[in-house]
Structure 1
């Protein structure tokens, strides 16, 4: 049997090459190949594995040409340079190394904060030019200032500890950060607007998602303190770059440290040339230690999979053995959908996730099912989370996970119930798998209903009054939105009701507002599965 072959198409440490070879994997080290998309497409068909960093763009065209490819390994956290849906459709596992860059990126954010506080880059350039402009480069102290951290997960928590060591006050915004975890870190958990209002420095450590895109906008900046300093070593797109430039020019923002940009490599950018901005070329993970860590991790993970079938840190494959897969897979899908349902509706700090397994499902691999549920729950905010990393991500945020198994005692032979306890409320959703193998929702917030989840849905809570269904249908129809299915449930006549509406097209923000204005509507949320 021939050895598996791996292509390394980015600049990875030689450690990775040695690990592959030591594990019996043939490796082709071509660190410049990833920058030539045509050459990559021409070569990829010969390999079982592809190891990359950020320079290689694994597009749908690359994947289409990858006739033998079984695994893509990203040395680092971000996988926005990989078309994961295309890889999944072709049966290719996508792995990342979610923890190898944490300290390095956190330290770079702290360094950028100091650079902005003391105008170090400009002072250096002036001094080396033979000037002695001591009075020109007046700085501010870090000690006693308030640091606002947006995203207090793996990297954000490291930044928090470093900042506390510098005698800063730290406030944090993270919907999945519990009060207990915040207390353990020594930070104050706040809402986003309060963070904007109080912070002297703001640093971002959150993935780029639909929720976080342009989280620093012109409106957000207007809520901030005059003279705030902003740091972004996370992802380009979290900041509206034009809005930041305008605020830098006006003096509203005293300084900014930017390591990541919407378009990279950033040869031109609206921020360039601003006198009070410090820019670096995506150096967050660029230390010798981090390069070694992620190279070692990705090589070990890929080699293990190619030689033994073991799967670690896969973004698109559950950790399920071959023997249990046929029976467990539909329940994995159910658990992930229940988690996603709850996650998309959760907007406040999470204290606890409770998962109950009743009937035959209680005898299955509930560890995998719990991981699937947590994956679905966390993905609306942390898109790179997977079945391996989800439990750690929940623990990191101080979310208590409770698992209960019991024999059947209700109307259904088997079901899963997921309950989320937040700072403000408790919400549960339950589901089962019918004989056709398809997951179904059977209860939401104690209200019985039977619903099959679809790609695009509306979740509506309302007062149970006549005319509501007709008004919803008319409004959607008038706006060209076709309804595929509508399912309803209520606690009692005239009480609280829930509607799940499957639609064929995304709902615009304007239409969402119009639905919210319908009489008796309490809440409406778009859901994507």
Structure 2
């Protein structure tokens, strides 16, 4: 009988799920705050169920001689050393969808609180002032709600807002026309256009390089006068000082924040600003949400320990022990191809077609397709919001149609994977294979042949095939202090379209990228990270 340690607070119902599944449970909810004691006994357990208090460090994992699975009741896994767990073969699971409704409802509640100035009116009334004329609010009905992010949580907010008779518009690079129609919302192509139209703006995106400070001071100024801004997503998405100033000047009528750039937020520019509603990161803080994630993690861990089923794993494909050694390099390649496409495709993706050519087509394709889908979605969804198990579900929710096909070997390579991405305006492809050294290689982009080993930091350019381009690009990178590790070139035909894929030592800044893109031969330049 497998044995699970619960070292944080989980409900009695979750404990019972383990027992009903035939798993022995040791419920010690205070143990997570005693790392020395936890390290002393962790070697006795097959599973560890946690929330946020328990820190699963590399040192703890080293002592976990029998541990097979760590289950996090919640989304964030910052308290788990996933690389250390992966190196030891320990599956790390989370519950990415357990808090969706609760977080969405908090955003709607904050919108109401902001619209009717409820917190300030409550404080005034309880102080005996009865300032009825001071707290003039606005109706929600008939107003335009602008969603920045229309994924799992954003779509719930949209449904609630439509029920309140609001008009909902949304900006989300992954939102297809079909998905927008199904949700009953209008898709907006640019953030600035959404800000100019929305009476209420609410954010539902992860914090990534693309979304950090997405509501900058410049964009605050572009918001509709008298609009209200709600952020229950992540701190760091908004220039809080700019919002505070806009509240004081009267440009914005209100703001409601549950998350802040620095937490715990003991001080913040928003504190004390007119009609600023602030709560201490309560998005997931309901009894139902806490119960849901606890039950989910108990079910997932029980299924794995008793039947070998893996759900919502962040570091393991759903494969058998016999398949794993063969699939491992192909899983890595599939995720890299997906990541490349996700980073370079700027329009909403409607369809992806995956061709498995040659011997790879004889393998278990489910983990390969899941890995590719996860790589495609991570640039916008974020690491914690998608994994190999949840990626196909997230893709379906976003209206992305996925097809697979097996083909006989053809061309110079006996086995490879080709990804074909279709948007409203274009179709593009990228292909890769595994060389004899077990490492992945790009072998074709946009139908143009080349050979490039993926690296952590890369530069991708499309350009005209003219003499002097390599020298011009190399000179520019040298002047910017960017060291080239590898340089792969390909072209369609003489003097036609060409492309380059360079491995570089460090991340290329936005400023440097702008200078690179300004070279006369370049049509497009993109910094990539794998």
Q: Per-residue deviation at 1:98?
A: 1.6
Deviates more, 1:245-254 or 1:394-403: 245-254
Indicate the residue corresponding to 1:309 in structure 2: 308
Q: Per-residue deviation at 1:362?
A: 1.9
Aligned residues: 527
Deviates more, 1:14-23 or 1:38-47: 38-47
C-alpha distance 71-372 of structure 1, shift in aligned 2 (>3 A):
same
Matches within 5 A, 1:121-136: 121-136=119-134
Question: Would you say the 8 A contact 2:2–2:46 is kept in 1?
Answer: no
Give the TM-score normalised by the residue count of structure 1: 0.94
C-alpha distance 65-262 of structure 1, shift in aligned 2 (>3 A):
farther
- Runs of 5+ consecutive residues of structure 1 not aligned to the other structure: none
Indicate the residue corresponding to 2:259 in structure 1: 260
Query: What secondary structure does 2:180 align onto?
Result: helix
Q: Per-residue deviation at 1:157?
A: 0.6
**1:377-414 deviations in Å (ceiling 9; x for gaps):** 00111222111100000000011112122222433212
Indicate the residue corresponding to 2:154 in structure 1: 156
Indicate the residue corresponding to 1:320 in structure 2: 319
Indicate the residue corresponding to 1:179 in structure 2: 177
C-alpha distance 80-435 of structure 1, shift in aligned 2 (>3 A):
same
Indicate the residue corresponding to 1:231 in structure 2: 230
Q: Per-residue deviation at 1:41?
A: 6.0
**1:337-376 deviations in Å (ceiling 9; x for gaps):** 1101100101111111111122222222122211111011
Deviates more, 1:406-415 or 1:117-126: 406-415
**1:41-72 deviations in Å (ceiling 9; x for gaps):** 66656654332334445455655665554332
* 1:493 and 2:494 matched: yes
Indicate the residue corresponding to 2:458 in structure 1: 457
C-alpha distance 527-294 of structure 1, shift in aligned 2 (>3 A):
same
Distance in 1 of aligned mates of 2:517 and 2:152: 36
Distance in 2 of aligned mates of 1:247 and 1:69: 52
C-alpha distance 357-302 of structure 1, shift in aligned 2 (>3 A):
same
- Runs of 5+ consecutive residues of structure 2 not aligned to the other structure: none
**1:75-126 deviations in Å (ceiling 9; x for gaps):** 1223344443443344332211122222121111111111100111111222
Question: Would you say the 8 A contact 1:6–1:25 is kept in 2?
Answer: no
Q: Per-residue deviation at 1:131?
A: 2.4
Output the aligned Cα RMSD: 2.2
Question: Would you say the 8 A contact 1:458–1:501 is kept in 2?
Answer: yes
Matches within 5 A, 1:48-447: 48-58=46-56, 63=61, 66=64, 68-190=66-188, 191-382=190-381, 383-384=383-384, 385-447=386-448
Q: Per-residue deviation at 1:201?
A: 0.5
Question: Would you say the 8 A contact 2:4–2:49 is kept in 1?
Answer: no
Question: Would you say the 8 A contact 2:2–2:305 is kept in 1?
Answer: no
Deviates more, 1:147-156 or 1:240-249: 240-249
Distance in 1 of aligned mates of 2:432 and 2:168: 40
Distance in 1 of aligned mates of 2:431 and 2:263: 43
Distance in 2 of aligned mates of 1:277 and 1:463: 52
Query: What secondary structure does 1:379 align onto?
Result: helix
Indicate the residue corresponding to 2:476 in structure 1: 475
Deviates more, 1:211-220 or 1:447-456: 211-220
Q: Per-residue deviation at 1:139?
A: 0.2
